């Protein structure tokens, strides 16, 4: 798979991954039924005829197990998205499988927040990306400071497989990868924890999407609790997550305030986007919310 990524990048490949709704709408336009180029195949996840893909690249993708036959055509099982000078393999559209690996607009926002954060903090001895998905957080940390012992963990083995490939493409294949539920399989104190977890309630319990809890906040709260247990003195949690806003209040941050009250931590939250995934408000648990906001929460243990 790494060689496929190298070949695509050498061909000038670029693709910014949109939201699922945008991808669905664009693919539904007349004339977009079939892929006509590399971006259509590996970005928009459109079916393609054999002659659209150059023979050497077709053979590379077949050897990597990336292609499946589909009613006389072919499809890629993976998308390939670019972010700055980095590139990331993730699951093809639509992401229906229970172990699908997601990448999209939240990834771009998370990258911007983490990059700005890393510019303003001293060198970090040990960092962990919880629920790493494509490995984005861990890769950015390792690129910022190669001396940092960087670990990426995910409960989803499919995510770890892609994260390893993405780390190799980024030139930071020294990152440690562990299958772990939060930090259950990672020992010791940590100086920096970063996470961009799922934050929506999902009846189908897809790993990339299901945040658990009543409103999708369960996993984010579990990460805060884990950070309280495992952060070293002076260590910080940077959590990028979404939160339901109900009657002008933020129930997730109210829970965070309760957890951290009288504890040896300082914290702050910044609202990055006031309104995402509006379609989730139509029915289900989030029908009680007036909007879903994206926030960056930082929690630091006092020295």
At 32-91, the pLDDT tens digits run 999 999 999 999 999 999 999 999 999 999 999 999 998 889 999 999 999 999 999 999
* Position 200 pLDDT exceeds 90: yes
Chain centroid, CA 52 distance in Å: 30
Please say whether the beta carbons of 81 and 91 come within 8 A.
no
**Per-residue model confidence as pLDDT tens digits over 126-145:** 999 999 999 999 999 999 99
**Count of Cβ atoms closer than 10 Å to residue 41 Cβ:** 27
pLDDT at 253 over 90: yes
Residue 20: per-residue pLDDT: 94
Q: Is the pLDDT of residue 292 over 90?
A: yes
> Sorting pLDDT into bands at 50, 70 and 90, what band is 173?
confident
Q: Categorize the per-residue pLDDT at 204 as very low, low, confident or very high, splitting at 50, 70 and 90.
A: confident
- DSSP class of residue 92 equals P
By CB atoms closer than 10 A (0-12, 13-18, 19+), residue 69 is exposed
Residue 188: predicted pLDDT: 97
State mean pLDDT over 199-207.
90
Give the whole-angstrom CA distance, residue 93 versus residue 122. 39
pLDDT at position 207: 86
Q: What is the pTM (predicted TM-score) of this model?
A: 0.96
Specify the range with the lowest mean pLDDT, choosing from 24-28, 71-75, 131-135, 251-255.
71-75
Task: Kindly report the CATH class assigned to 105-301.
Answer: alpha beta
Beta-carbon contacts of 141 under 8 Å, excluding residues fewer than 6 positions away, are 114, 118, 124, 127, 129, 148, 150, 192, 194
pLDDT given for residue 71 in this prediction:
85
% of the chain residues with pLDDT over 70: 100
pLDDT tens digits, 78-91: 999 999 999 999 99
Percent of the chain with pLDDT over 90: 95
Does 115 score more than 90 pLDDT? yes
Exposure on the CB side of residue 265, measured as CA atoms within 13 A? 25
- Cα-based angle 90, 94, 95 (whole degrees, multiple of 5): 55
DSSP-derived pairing of the beta strands 231-245 and 73-76: unpaired
What's the whole-number mean pLDDT along residues 232-252?
A: 97
Please determine, for residue 262, whether its predicted confidence score (pLDDT) is greater than 90.
no
CA distances from 188 to 107, 126, 170, 176 (A): 28, 10, 27, 15
Residue 280 pLDDT level (bands cut at 50, 70, 90): very high
From its phi and psi, is residue 269 left (phi > 0), alpha (psi between -120 and 50) or beta? beta
Task: Compute the distance between CA of residue 162 and CA of residue 134 in angstroms, rounded to an integer.
Answer: 6
Average pLDDT, whole number, for the chain? 96
**What are the residue ranges of CATH 3.40.50.150 in the chain?**
105-301
């Amino acid at each position: 798979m790494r060689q496929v990524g190298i070949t695509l990048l050498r061909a000038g490949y670029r693709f910014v991954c949109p939201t699922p709704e945008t991808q669905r709408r664009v693919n539904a336009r007349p004339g977009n039924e079939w892929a006509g180029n590399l971006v259509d195949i590996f970005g928009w996840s459109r079916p393609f005829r054999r002659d659209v893909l150059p023979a050497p690249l077709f053979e590379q993708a077949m050897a990597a197990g990336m292609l499946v036959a589909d009613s006389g055509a072919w499809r890629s099982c993976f998308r390939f998205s670019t972010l700055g000078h980095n590139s990331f393999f993730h699951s093809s559209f639509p992401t229906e499988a229970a172990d699908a690996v997601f990448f999209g607009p939240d990834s771009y926002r998370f990258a911007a927040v983490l990059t700005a954060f890393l510019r303003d903090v001293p060198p970090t001895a040990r960092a962990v990306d919880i629920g790493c998905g494509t490995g984005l957080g861990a890769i950015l940390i390792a690129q910022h400071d190669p001396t940092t012992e960087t670990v990426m963990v995910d409960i989803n083995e499919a995510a770890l497989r892609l994260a390893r490939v993405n780390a190799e493409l980024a030139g930071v294949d020294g990152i440690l990868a562990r299958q772990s539920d939060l930090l259950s399989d990672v020992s010791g104190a940590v100086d920096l924890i970063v996470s961009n977890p799922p934050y929506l309630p999902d009846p189908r319990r897809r790993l990339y999407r299901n945040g658990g809890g009543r409103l999708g906040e369960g996993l984010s709260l579990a990460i805060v609790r884990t950070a309280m247990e495992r952060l070293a003195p002076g260590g910080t949690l940077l959590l990028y997550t979404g939160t339901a806003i109900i009657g002008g209040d933020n129930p997730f941050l109210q829970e965070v305030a309760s957890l951290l009250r009288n504890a040896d931590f300082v914290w702050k939250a910044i609202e990055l986007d006031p309104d995402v995934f509006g379609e989730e408000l139509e029915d289900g648990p989030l029908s009680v919310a007036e909007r879903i906001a994206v926030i960056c929460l930082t929690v630091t243990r006092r020295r």
